[in-house]
Structure 1
Amino acid sequence: MLATASVPIPLVDAAATPAQLRRFFSAAYCDTPAPLRWLSAIRPYVCPYDKLLQFIPDGGDALDVGCGAGSLLALLAATKKIRRGVGCDVAEPPLASARAAARRLGAEDVLSFQHVRSIAQAPEGPFDIVAMVDVLHHVAPRERADVFAAAARRVGPGGVFIYKDMTARPGGRRLAHNIDDYVFTREWVQQVPEGAVEAWAIDQRLALVHGEFIPRLIYGHELRVFRRLDG
């Protein structure tokens, strides 16, 4: 069931609160099936989009690796943070919703979405911003370093790499993420060990400029922001 396409899209900016983002996503994804629309609307209470926005430089080209339904790029386009955004994902169905949201936002000339079989097929760039949000815990542990490196190589000189994933710290927040992922994907995931991405970033000449643990509801998130040393 779809919502009416006449739902107005509220204005948002980089200082938007989770409640404001909920209203934005509900309207932006009104042309998508109800389950996805509801999930998109409640996700700002779980995923700290408001924190991510603080580290996105203005006016650049962005690549979202594992973009899903394209919510991060939709937000970046609506806040006019980026000049161009490309999302890629190994799952095709969510990309249809990403394209529908881009149409609703009038951002079809800004956003594009590509179905890929692996990160090797992702656009090469280089990009001013590369994001990888809640992706690596779905990647087999033996492949994570290579996937991270492939994404990092697409960051241009002076560009930023935004990494966010579920916390690996022991406790209820970690368990909450595991249960959540199992409910929606039937996968009992293994978190990325603490310190792993920092080590991989050094190998790719990325400098850590910000690290933060972010609690949200019953969940916990690890945010790492890196900058390309080259250039």
Structure 2
Amino acid sequence: MLAPASTSIPFVDAAATPAQLRRFFYAAYCDTPNPLRWLSAVRPYVCPYDKLLQFVRNGGEVLDVGCGAGSLLALLAATKKIRRGVGCDVMAPPLESARAAARRLDAESILTFEHVRSVAEAPEGPFDTVAMIDVLHHVRPRDRSDVFAAAARRVKPGGVLLYKDMTARPGGRRLAHNIDDYVFTREWVEQVAEGAVETWASDHQLALVHDEFIPRLIYGHELRVFQRLEH
């Protein structure tokens, strides 16, 4: 059952605080099951959306690889940063929540979500921005370079590949991510090795333009932004 149509969506912009984003996501995902709605609302305290948004091209087209419930694209649509957004994921149920949020945000004309068996089935584009957020640590290590390559091929000349994943640096922040993933997915994940994505990006003519370690609460994030050179 849908929530009342009068449910208001709080205004957000690229400078929104985690508390403001919590209220935004709680309203935007009011038509989704309560556990997912709650997780979407608290994720801004962990995921550095403020860092991600600044590297998405204004007015461009975005492909979100492994989009889950579509929170990044929902936020990009609400802040009017993009002309079009496509999300794809190998898991079908979260995509229903993504579509529900797009309806609630009146963003169905610019956001679409596709169920795929692999990144190879994602729309070809090319796109101004391709995002891969917290995806690769769920991929088998032997398949990670191929998944990254498929995403890289969808970046247009001059466009960017926006990559973020949990830190592989030894210590408590790495352990916190492992425990978090195990609680929610029953999977003891293996982090992406340091330096791996930089090597793969270089193999596909993507230049590193920004790298940053981002601590949040007890977690740690590795952000890498790559740009395809214009030909």
Identify the TM-score tier after normalising by the shorter chain: over 0.9
Q: 1: CA distance between counterparts of 2:28 and 2:137?
A: 27
Q: Residues 209, 8 of structure 1: CA spacing in aligned structure 2 closer, same or farther, 3 A cutoff?
A: same
In structure 1, what residue type is equivalent to 2:87?
Answer: G
Pair 1:220-2:220 in alignment: yes
In structure 2, what residue type is equivalent to 1:144?
Answer: R
Report the equivalent of 1:31.
31
Report the equivalent of 1:79.
79
Any conservation in 2 of the 1:4–1:31 contact (CA below 8 Å)?
no
SS of the aligned residue for 1:188 comes to coil
Report the equivalent of 1:155.
155
SS of the aligned residue for 1:88 comes to strand
Q: Residues 3, 177 of structure 1: CA spacing in aligned structure 2 closer, same or farther, 3 A cutoff?
A: farther
Q: TM-score, normalised by structure 1?
A: 0.98
Q: 2: CA distance between counterparts of 1:3 and 1:127?
A: 34
Matches within 5 A, 1:111-126: 111-126=111-126
SS of the aligned residue for 2:150 comes to helix
Q: For residue 57 of structure 1, report the CA deviation from its aligned partner.
A: 1.4
Matches within 5 A, 1:130-141: 130-141=130-141
Q: 1: CA distance between counterparts of 2:45 and 2:2?
A: 23
RMSD between aligned residues: 1.1
> Deviation string for 1:105-162 (max 9, x for gaps)?
0000000000000111000000000000000000000000110011000000100110
Q: For residue 3 of structure 1, report the CA deviation from its aligned partner.
A: 5.4
Q: For residue 84 of structure 1, report the CA deviation from its aligned partner.
A: 0.2
Q: 1: CA distance between counterparts of 2:189 and 2:6?
A: 39
SS of the aligned residue for 2:39 comes to helix
In structure 2, what residue type is equivalent to 1:183?
Answer: V
Q: For residue 7 of structure 1, report the CA deviation from its aligned partner.
A: 2.3
Q: 2: CA distance between counterparts of 1:136 and 1:213?
A: 17
Query: What is the total number of aligned residue pairs between the two structures?
Result: 231
Q: 2: CA distance between counterparts of 1:230 and 1:152?
A: 14
SS of the aligned residue for 1:84 comes to strand
Report the equivalent of 1:47.
47
SS of the aligned residue for 2:109 comes to coil
Report the equivalent of 2:8.
8
Q: 2: CA distance between counterparts of 1:81 and 1:21?
A: 16
Q: 1: CA distance between counterparts of 2:99 and 2:39?
A: 17
Report the equivalent of 1:145.
145
% same residue: 83
Q: 2: CA distance between counterparts of 1:114 and 1:71?
A: 15
Matches within 5 A, 1:98-117: 98-117=98-117
In structure 2, what residue type is equivalent to 1:229?
Answer: L
> Deviation string for 1:52-89 (max 9, x for gaps)?
01111100000000000000000000001100000000
Any conservation in 2 of the 1:168–1:191 contact (CA below 8 Å)?
yes
Q: TM-score, normalised by structure 2?
A: 0.98
Q: For residue 30 of structure 1, report the CA deviation from its aligned partner.
A: 0.5
Higher mean displacement: 12-21 or 141-150: 12-21
SS of the aligned residue for 1:130 comes to strand
Q: 1: CA distance between counterparts of 2:7 and 2:45?
A: 21
Report the equivalent of 1:166.
166
Any conservation in 2 of the 1:3–1:34 contact (CA below 8 Å)?
no
Any conservation in 2 of the 1:4–1:30 contact (CA below 8 Å)?
no
Q: 2: CA distance between counterparts of 1:76 and 1:220?
A: 23
